[in-house]
Amino acid sequence: MSNTYDVAVIGAGSVGVPTALALKRKGFSTLVIDKFSSPGQGSNKAAIGGVRATHSDPAKIRLGLRSLEIFSTWKETYGHDIEWTTGGYAFPAYEEKDKDVFQKLLEIQRPYNLNIDWLSKRELLDVVPDLNRRDLLGGTFSPEDGHCSTLLASRAFYDQAKQEGVQFRFSERVEEIKKENGRVSAVKTDKGTYRCSTVINAGGAWADSFSLPSEYRLPLLPESHEAGITEPVGHFLGPMVVDMRRNSRSSNIYFFQIEAGQIVFCLTPDPPVSGLDRRETSDFLPLVAGRMIALIPSLASIRVRRTWRGIYPMTPDGSPVIGWIEDFPGYFLAGGMCGQGFMLGPGIGELITRMAAEEELSREDREILKILSPYRDFKKPEVLE
């Protein structure tokens, strides 16, 4: 195996592997390094696999639209089954203030030709018949969003990347990025040094775990989030359902039913649980189960098989950080993916590749980069985090 590459990607996760594939396809010799022993073992495998374009800012909408295209056509393009399902996303509203927020968001989303609409109570019940009807005001539904298996998808991207010639080094920890003649020259790990002129930091919640000659500090705020899966039952749930109501211990919950019949679910704790702890807790299940059953009472009879915990690599404003770092030419940051790195990863990978290839960027790409710039002020929180 060579020790010299055009590009080294740190992290074989939701962002790193699709990025490496896109880079290789553009002709860059590419190495991916990960401290874990196989791809997708960081936050990727904890993600439940929701993929949507219906965000609240233009950057995520555009990246989400491209990712949706890649995920939904993966099987016909490359042959691997990633269990893609175009089931849509439903955001039911039970409170006037949520109805207002969702309806205002439509005004932002519509100019991007997103297929999303406000449904009356009756119309929403046609889509999700088991929703609790009491106080239901209606909700938004975006039928072209969907979900897939994060485990199958990371394997599929990895297999494809390997087949196309991307090199991978697992169980190897990056310790330092080196500089020579004023720019990136190499990546040093606990096992060796790899020369390269470009480094993509796709290190997720651990993106600040190595040293580099730059003044820039990624405002990374890792948070623990838990998820779970039930036993399989007959199909009754089409879309991903997101309940945005906040209570004293959690903000939102979201869940969907996979093809094989299991319900996969997740909850956002409030206040957030800071840190990198991936050990699941006994608090999670009663909390999330209570909320899910209140929303869809028929879930009460379904047994839970397993829970797990993973990390959201959060930023202060709930949006990723993407761009070159000015005082260290050749160093590119693709971090702080928050709760959406899986669904944005393939779109981000292609954008990084256009930048690495020094292609002329479209107005849309430039707008994405401005919104997700490492040098923004991080003050405006995202509405649908």
> Strand order in 183-189's β-sheet?
174-180, 183-189, 193-195
Minimum CB distance to ligand FAD smaller for 41 or for 132: 41
Q: Interface mask (CB under 6 A) for ligand FAD, residues 239-278, using x and -?
A: ---------------------------x------------
Residue 43 binds ligand FAD (CB under 6 A): yes
| Binder of ligand FAD out of 114, 342, 346, 372 (CB under 6 A) | 342
Minimum CB distance to ligand FAD smaller for 49 or for 138: 49
The token duo for 321 is 């950080």
Under 8 Å between Cβ of 289 and 266: no
Binding-residue total with ligand FAD (CB under 6 A):
43
Residue 313 binds ligand FAD (CB under 6 A): yes
Smallest distance, Å, CB 179 to ligand FAD?
A: 17
Residue 225 binds ligand FAD (CB under 6 A): yes
Q: Interface mask (CB under 6 A) for ligand FAD, residues 69-108, using x and -?
A: ----------------------------------------
DSSP secondary structure, 74-115, as one string: HHHHH------B---EEEEE-SHHHHHHHHHHHHHHGGGT--
Residue 13 binds ligand FAD (CB under 6 A): yes
For residue 280, give every residue at least 6 positions away whose Cβ sits within 8 Å of its Cβ, in sequence order, or none.
226, 307, 308, 309
**Helix, strand, coil % over all residues of the chain, rounded to 5:** 30, 25, 40
Q: What are the phi and psi torsion angles at 373 (to 5°)?
A: -60, 140
Stretch touching ligand FAD by CB under 6 A, among 114-122, 134-142, 177-185, 304-312: 304-312
Stretch touching ligand FAD by CB under 6 A, among 83-91, 98-106, 341-349, 376-384: 341-349
Minimum CB distance to ligand FAD smaller for 140 or for 315: 315
Residues 46-65, interacting with ligand FAD (CB under 6 A): 46-50
Residue 138 binds ligand FAD (CB under 6 A): no
Give the span between the Cα atoms of 169 and 33, in whole angstroms: 5
Tell me the Ramachandran region of residue 228: left when phi exceeds 0, alpha when psi lies from -120 to 50, beta otherwise: beta
E-state strands within 263-361: 263-269, 273-274, 304-314, 321-324, 331-335
Give the span between the Cα atoms of 134 and 94, in whole angstroms: 8
| Binder of ligand FAD out of 74, 118, 312, 328 (CB under 6 A) | 312
| Binder of ligand FAD out of 64, 92, 341, 346 (CB under 6 A) | 341
Residue 166 binds ligand FAD (CB under 6 A): no
For residue 127, give every residue at least 6 positions away whose Cβ sits within 8 Å of its Cβ, in sequence order, or none.
88, 90, 119, 141, 238, 239
Q: What are the phi and psi torsion angles at 344 (to 5°)?
A: -100, -15
Smallest distance, Å, CB 52 to ligand FAD?
A: 8
Under 8 Å between Cβ of 125 and 138: no
Residues 19-38, interacting with ligand FAD (CB under 6 A): 33-36
Q: Interface mask (CB under 6 A) for ligand FAD, residues 170-209, using x and -?
A: ---xx---------------------------xxxxx--x
Residue 169 binds ligand FAD (CB under 6 A): no
The token duo for 86 is 């175009």
Give the span between the Cα atoms of 139 and 105, in whole angstroms: 12
State the residues that interact with ligand FAD by CB under 6 A: 10-16, 33-36, 41-44, 46-50, 173-174, 202-206, 209-210, 225, 227, 266, 310-313, 337-343
